[in-house]
Amino acid sequence: MNQNGIGIREESVFDFSGKTVLVIGGTSGINRGVAEMFATQGARVAVASRSQDKVSDTVRALQVLGGEAAGFAADVRDTAAVGQGVAGIHDRFGSLDVVVSGAAGNFPALANELSSNGFRAVMDIDLLGTFHVMKAVFPYLKKPGASIINISAPQAFIPMMAQIHVCAAKAGVDMITRTLALEWGEAGVRVNSVVPGPIDGTEGMARLAPTESIREKVVDGVPLGRFGTPQDIGNACLFLASDLAGFITGAVIPVDGGWAQNNCGGMSDYLASLASK
Ligand code: NAP
Ligand code: COA
């Protein structure tokens, strides 16, 4: 087991040996957990994010867990850098079987306090960045057979105060998922979104639930009564990337202990009070 509680499993219904998986934004939090889980199932895994240090650290961890790993530093807002990085991974590992796209930015800010630049920063990372990643990977996907998983958020369909930028951006991400499911179905490429609930120990929760009292209220709002883990999200991604999900495309799948069904508890109110402090 590594520090994230992720280790090599002796038995699994999944086998990604010989497959190539690229995780964009895969150097911390949920996405890194997802990358690590694919590595434990035998995949060659590549990760990308802005920080070369985080990329190098993650590649080392993936090599310990699995085997071959690689990475590149790029900002998803820079379409040329993303294209160059993806081409480099293709040169090294061949066609991409699985792409997980999860780079994102978030901070609570009420609309009246949010500048045009602040709104744009999140739109550019989450939404335009997802478009850049989709465009960059398509030529290198295994066709037929590749699986793309966009990491969304409940804000895509549950409006929350102090999250106007994230709500707009992630709703757009899910529409990218649905549109590409239509356009790329013919090529045998499946495109789905996974919608994590509140995942413990992540930057997202540090920003949105920074106090013990908010954390307790978040858990109270989850029907299954606990925070999620990166492994919960990784399990969903393993399934979606596997042949077991071979007829699933264009789906937006909450993996959230039922949180969204409960309107994400009182998250909207907590965020509004947090942002107005
Ligand atoms: P995180 O640890 O901050 O992960 C974000 C990742 O994206 C990091 O690897 C970061 O690395 C990278 N990144 C950020 N901006 C980038 C950019 N402009 N270009 C390239 N890479 C960039 O966050 P997290 O909380 O685990 O969230 C991961 C995903 O889950 C996000 O899509 C988020 O919206 C979603 N989500 C999270 C939660 C939660 O409870 N945490 C709930 C619902 C949805 P660098 O800093 O090196 O760029
Ligand atoms: N409240 C209001 N506005 C904020 C803000 C906050 N907490 N944080 C940043 N902004 C605004 C900035 O003021 C700036 O607008 P301005 O030029 O009008 O002042 C704009 O957002 C861009 O900020 P900047 O710091 O230059 O952006 P960046 O591109 O370096 O970073 C962020 C992008 C802001 C999203 C940064 O928080 C980030 O890199 N996040 C990645 C990690 C993360 O958010 N993880 C959780 C994922 S769920």
- 113: CA distance to ligand 1 center in Å? 23
Angle, alpha carbons 127-131-137 (nearest 5°): 140
The reported pLDDT for the residue numbered 277 is 78
Mean pLDDT score, 67-75: 96
For ligand 1, atom 26, the nearest C-alpha belongs to 29
| Dist CA 236 CA 234 (whole Å) | 5
**What's the confidence (pLDDT) of residue 100?**
99
Task: Compute, in degrees rounded to 10, the torsion defined by CA atoms 5, 8, 14, 18.
Answer: 130
> What pLDDT digit, counting tens, does each position of 14-55 carry?
999 999 999 999 999 999 999 999 999 999 999 999 999 999
Residues making up the chain, counted from first to last? 277
Ligand nearest to the CA of 103: 1
Q: 51, 107, 207: which to mutate for ligand 2, most atoms within 8 A of CB?
A: 107
The whole-chain average pLDDT of the chain stands at 96
Q: Which atom of ligand 2 is nearest to the CA of 116?
A: 18
How far, in Å, from the CA of 111 to the mean position of ligand 2?
A: 14
For ligand 2, the distance from its centroid to the CA atom of residue 230, given in whole angstroms, is: 24
* Whether residue 106 has its Cβ less than 6 Å from ligand 2: yes
pLDDT band at 9 (very low <50, low <70, confident <90, very high): low
Asked if residue 240 has its Cβ within 6 Å of ligand 2, the reply is no
CATH number 3.30.530.20 given to 20-275: no
Residue 204 Cβ < 6 Å to ligand 1: yes
pLDDT value of position 133: 99
Residue with tokens 């867990």: 65
The pLDDT value recorded for residue 10 is: 57
Place of tokens 């989850």: 222
**DSSP string computed for 204-242:** HHHHHS-SHHHHHHHHHT-TT-S-B-HHHHHHHHHHHHS
Residue spans per domain, the chain: 20-275
